[in-house]
Structure 1
Amino acid sequence: MTRRHDLAALRQRLIDFAAARDWRPFHTPKNLAAALSVEAAELLEIFQWLTPEQAAAVMDDPDSAHRVRDEVADVLAYLLQFCAVLGVDPLTALAEKIDRNEHRFPRPGERPAPSSG
């Protein structure tokens, strides 16, 4: 069975998964933000005591690579669920943030864009 791997389809699968298990009452913004933080910490834990060289090579080891992929998936899953509950389009939010950062942090040699307010 082929599954679509676009963001909207994955987000809907997460919504359907939670709904089928009656988890909606627990998927509050606070709970999802807390879960997201915990999963991000679990991703960080993989790298906690590694040297920069070891961290750069973490995907070379199949066991470590599997752990990284699982934690990335958990972080993304909770972020998508958080966005769904609050009605945030994550791709739009990201694009708008990049736009603001491009103005705030110009390339070397460029002037910052004038403030509009």
Structure 2
Amino acid sequence: MDQAITAKIREFVHEREWERFHSPKNLVRALAGETGELLAEFQWVDEEASWSAREDGELRAHVSEEMADVAIYLNRLADVLQIDLDQAINAKLTLNTSRYPVGQSKGRATKYTSLKEDS
């Protein structure tokens, strides 16, 4: 992740003396709560209407704000646990590349554990 953003978040937390509240458990709970708020923006709309978040100014603003909250808590959790999020993402993409070979997964929403059975 952008180290400047991580430093900004760390400074924000430090200025308020919130470090003591930022245990991994609490951060994961906060992350889940913010993810729920993001989900709520799409809760009762159909697939087609969900795409309106690209153009609808008010919905887009709400979604953007909730996405930022999710990203901030995820970044903070990675910082507290000393996990390099970029490295973790790259490792997961490498793993998923082997789990989801293009020939077996292209155009399919099948979990990797069932791909070979369905081919």
Shorter-chain TM-score tier: 0.7 to 0.9
- Give the direction of change, closer, same or farther, for the CA distance of 1:109–1:48 in structure 2 (3 Å limit): closer
Give the one of 16, 24, 27 matched to 2:11.
16
Off by >6 Å, runs of 4+ in structure 1:
none
Tell me by how many angstroms 1:67 deviates: 0.2
- TM-score normalised by structure 2 residue count: 0.84
Whether 2:88 is the aligned partner of 1:86: answer no
Q: How far has the Cα of 1:59 moved from its partner?
A: 2.5
1:67 aligns with one of 54, 59, 62: 62
| Greater helix fraction, Structure 1 or Structure 2 | 2
State the percentage of identical aligned residues.
34
What 5-or-longer segments of structure 2 have no aligned partner?
106-119
2:28 alignment partner AA: A
Structure 1 unpaired stretches of 5+ = 1-5, 111-117
Aligned residues: 105
For the aligned residue pairs, the C-alpha RMSD in angstroms reads 1.4
1:40 and 2:35 equivalent? yes
Q: Which deviations, in whole Å up to 9, do the C-alpha atoms of 1:25-72 show, x marking residues without a partner? A: 000000000000000010000000101111011231111110000000
Give the TM-score taking structure 1 as reference length: 0.86
